[in-house]
Chain A
Amino acid sequence: MEFLKSVDTEWYKQRLTGAMLLLVMAFIILFARLFYLQLIKGREFRRLSENNSIRLQIIDAPRGQLFDRNGKLLVDNRPSFDLSIILYDAKPIEEVIRKLSAYTGMPESELMSKIKKEKCSPYQPILLQRNIGRNALAAVEVHKLDLPGVMVEVKPKRYYPKKKRAAHLIGYLGEISPGELKSEKYPGCKRGDFIGKFGIERVLDRFLRGENGGRQVEVNVSGQVVRILNTVDAKQGQNVYLTIDSKLQKKTEKLLKGKTGAAVAMDPETGHILALASSPSFDPRSFVGGISNEKWYDLVSNPYRPMENKAIQGQYPPASTYKIVTAIAGLEEGVIDETTQFFCPGYFEYGGHTFRCWHASGHGHVNVVKAIEVSCDVFFYNVGRRLGVDKLAWYARACGLGSPTKITLEGEENGLIPTAAWKKQRTGIPWQGGETISIAIGQGYDLVTPLQMLRLTSGIANGGTLYRPLVFSEIKTADGKLVKKGETEIVGKIPASSKTLELVRRGMWEVVNGANGTARGSRLYGIDMCGKTGTAQIVGRKEDERGYKKKLAPHFTPHAWFIAYAPSDTPRIAVSVIVEHGEHGSSAAAPVAREMIQAYLSDEKAGSDVVVLENKVVESAR
């Protein structure tokens, strides 16, 4: 065994003696401190410990407010009075509860069961009733001395000055779940806290939430505060400025009333969402203070799915609105050009099947602009057949269909743009040529969300740019400091030359303004609108049914689509509307879009925005 030179170990021994000295000194300090705490100050600490007198009271932070693009308040807070009890102070408990019940009228058994259910430290307040009324509040305050341990806590609660406005976008709050409590997303939250559960309230929760404050207090035997030792103020959550226009939103919701569907509007130049409505809606006010089980059951069991945000979660066949994509693909791939005409006899034969045009007597010779105007199926059957499914799918995806738009909301659906490979993998059956024919007019497997169609419409209006839909423009602290800006973000480009886009735009203009346009009935005087109708069939209609013009059961009537933008030369607003089982795009959806556009643009003209509008004209005239 090898030993090191004894000099070294001797030398270390000296250093160890030094270490020993430091050790003893450190422990003398600890010992002295213990002596001080237990023997000198012991009596005082014993007194404080006897009533557990030093306590912590939490001051809840108000959540941030929500505003619309013009600074109109959409969501605010209001104080609510919550009744709680501290078991440690409420002695004897039966008597306190009996008195409380007598003063407030709340049933004794209900109060007792709430206390029994709660498993927490006896000095922590147990919530008996949220948002007690004025009478109960007065009664408790008057008999305060008679009710040891009973306290009224003032807590900020959500308040909706505009009632149900923009419910799907704003969302609602709910009590934090045990799973959420454990996750990393909610640091500092405790049981019973309310957090955003849906919509903006959920996705921007960390900005809106704020920071709770608190008070260190000394209390007497009956739990009353003797003095406040320390206070940390609550920090209000940050305010969010949404991109929506409250007025347009109101109008949109009114237009959708009684219908099932969605309507979304966007500023095509920035991607700002101007309105987002889904119908039927729900009332966020019923979530304040916790929703009752019956109400919740009603909402989730409603066949019209009020809790679904159909603008981003509803997936529908794009139907004839998809012809825009087929037209772009055909023009870009050189399958057709401006002058290419196909003859429409009212039907199209392919592979032994007969595919009908919606206009049974046929459109005759049509070119691409005309085909869009009259929504000729046969023209697009021809284009689709020449393109094939995969080329068509490539264009559809490049136009932003079949994938989420990445809007700042949760639960967005993908939609579906099929390819031959997709079908083979999914069903094991190879793609059939006839399926391409259906796909070309947006039927078959194709599924899109109203928001995807809106972004495409905006792209066509603005010259091909696809923006990420933006729902908030700014997040600011309560005292006005900017925290986060909602930046306009380009996420893609429609793969089309300006000439192609021009042709599509012309077609869309004719849809509304042309002599045979499918939405001619919805044209606006003074506002140049462009659009495209769509009628999404849910079940293939049999010929005899059609021949008899038999009214279908509402469950099987097709969905009505309309996408539009206006004004045609300097687009300020793009709109996408779907009305479930609305029958025809022209009759059910187009009027909604038309009214929205009219409301938004006339409002702008009437307001102080005129100058801005003129600037815009000059700008785009370059």
Chain B
Amino acid sequence: MFDKRYLQDFDWGFLGLVLLLCFIGLVTIYSTVTASALAPGKTLYYRQVIWFCAGLFLMLAVLFINYRSLEQGAFVIYGICIVLLVWVYFYGKYAGGSRRWLQMGALTLQPSELVKIGLIISLARYYSKLGSARGVTLKELIVPLVLITIPFLLIVKQPDLGTAMILVLIAGSMTVFVKIERRTLIYAVASCVVTVPLVWFFLKEYQKQRILTFINPDRDPLGAGYHIIQSKIAIGSGMITGKGFLKGTQNKLSFLPEQHTDFIFSVLAEEWGFLGSGVLIVCFLVLIAWALNIAYGCRDTFGTILSVGITAMIFWQATINMGMVMGLMPVVGVPLPFISYGGSSIITMMIGVGILLNISMRKNI
């Protein structure tokens, strides 16, 4: 039953890179949660270690299931994710202005993270069945549109604009990758141009404000705009070598919002300087390129599209998060893969890594 080629083709380098990133993440989280008396404290750090171990375990578990069998189970997985999201809608835990979490004993789960995997698998299944070089037609686009709209609306309602946007970007990347028919593309763009102002017209004033602030954080100098200034000060003040581990002043004085989740890159850049943050960016670049290479090496359509989907997930989250904290992009609540604090985020990422390793080690079987 066990094939020697599994071990031969196993991507040790890729796994090593992921573990390195996770290690950097844990070290930085340690700094953020223990920086001052106000910081959340070591409990959070230990919790993250446990989540990381759970993620590692799930990653290994995923390796034992042939990824090709995911194709059959695609819509079941998707369905479970949607059920969880609906559950959140009714019984979710409310915290910090939104309803995103399911309380399970001492742990909280964020189904909007897991739904990314569900969406990627089901889209991969759908697109791999089409398989033609002419591109997706308008009619063929209906199913993906439905697949994306359901979780999108549920997540926007929470509200969690960042995660909703990531879902759209992942689905969009996969669709563009399998190619859209030119005519369809024109239709799609044209209908967007028409509907966006229409939707805008129906939005309530506070919703418009939220979107405008999202696009331009300077509109909100007391909230997002202030956070970006502080984040830029933190990153910039790191200079070449940084202020040293546990010595970041912006971090220590809680000047950064969400310093252990969304703004964790700022803390890393403040404490480790250009050298440290540069290494991190390079790590991400290599990791994503490696993931694309796995897609490249895969010899069936489902596997290729699946790995592209997961790569897109890592890519968009990493670039948007880093772009945001450096003041290049809208302020969105997107965690930095493998680095940010958050159980659901790390588990989702590790499952994604498991699938990629899975595809990679079965490329010759």
Which residues of A are at the interface with B, using a C-beta cutoff of 8 A?
1-4, 7-9, 11-13, 15-16, 19-20, 23-24, 26-27, 29-31, 33-35, 37-39, 41-46, 48-50, 52, 54, 56, 88, 119-123, 182-184, 187, 213-214, 216, 229-232
Contact = CB atoms under 8 A, between A and B. Distances in A.
B214 to A, nearest CB: 17
Contacts of A230: 221, 225
Nearest to A51: B249
Given A15-B179, A23-B285, A44-B236, A54 B249 contact: no
B319 interface: yes
- Which 10 A-B pairs give the minimum distances between C-beta atoms? A45-B236, A49-B237, A230-B221, A42-B239, A214-B222, A46-B237, A38-B274, A45-B237, A37-B236, A121-B254
B233 A54 contact: yes
A49 B239 contact: no
Contact of A19 (B37, B240, B308, B326): B308
A41 B288 CA distance: 29
A38 B274 CA distance: 6
Contacts of B250: 49, 52
B323 interface: yes
Interface stretch (B56-64, B189-197, B289-297): B289-297
B260 interface: no
Contact of A23 (B36, B226, B236, B292): B292
Nearest to B365: A1
B365 A34 contact: no
Contact of B292 (A8, A20, A35, A52): A20
Contact of B249 (A7, A11, A52, A184): A52
Contacts of A231: 221
Given A49-B249, A230-B221, 13 more contacts: A13-B296, A20-B289, A23-B292, A30-B319, A33-B327, A35-B274, A37-B326, A38-B239, A41-B236, A48-B237, A56-B222, A214-B222, A232-B222
A9 B232 contact: no
B222 A31 contact: no
A39 B274 contact: yes
Nearest to A5: B131
A552 B236 CA distance: 83
A12 B225 contact: no
Given A11-B133, A45-B236, A49-B237, A27 B281 contact: yes
Contacts of A9: 298-301, 304
Interface residues of B, number: 59
A7 B301 CA distance: 11
Contacts of B221: 214, 216, 229-232
20 contacts: A7-B133, A8-B301, A9-B300, A12-B301, A29-B328, A30-B319, A37-B236, A38-B235, A42-B239, A42-B274, A44-B236, A46-B236, A49-B233, A49-B236, A50-B249, A56-B226, A88-B253, A184-B94, A216-B221, A216-B229
Given A27-B284, A38-B273, A38-B274, A8 B131 contact: yes
Interface string B115-137: 00000000000000001010000
A19 B253 contact: no
Nearest to A232: B222
B328 A120 contact: no
Interface of B: prevailing SS: helix
A54 B230 contact: yes
Nearest to A42: B239
Nearest to A187: B97
Contacts of A15: 177, 179
Nearest to A38: B274
B326 A34 contact: yes
Contacts of B274: 34-35, 38-39, 42
Interface in B1-56: 36-38
B322 interface: yes
Contacts of B278: 31, 34
A38 B233 CA distance: 9
A119 B222 CA distance: 22
Given A54-B230, A121-B254, A216-B226, A42 B240 contact: yes
A1 B68 CA distance: 10
B291 to A, nearest CB: 10
B257 to A, nearest CB: 11
A372 to B, nearest CB: 53
Interface of A: prevailing SS: helix
B315 A38 contact: no
Nearest to A213: B222
Given A30-B326, A37-B235, A4 B131 contact: yes
Contacts of A27: 281, 284-285, 319
B253 A4 contact: no
B245 interface: no
A341 B327 CA distance: 89
A49 B322 contact: no
Interface in B215-267: 221-222, 225-226, 229-230, 232-240, 249-250, 253-255
Specify which of A35, A42, A184, A231 lies most central, judged by the most chain B CB atoms within 10 Å of its CB.
A42
Contacts of A23: 285, 288-289, 292, 315
A540 to B, nearest CB: 51
B60 to A, nearest CB: 23
A9 to B, nearest CB: 6
B233 A45 contact: yes
Contacts of B81: none
Interface in B323-341: 323, 326-328
Nearest to A88: B253
A122 to B, nearest CB: 6
Contacts of A41: 236
A23 B37 CA distance: 40
A46 B239 contact: yes
B110 interface: no
B273 A3 contact: no
Contacts of B225: 216, 230
Nearest to A13: B296
B363 to A, nearest CB: 11
Contacts of B133: 7-8, 11
A31 B281 contact: yes
Contacts of A213: 222
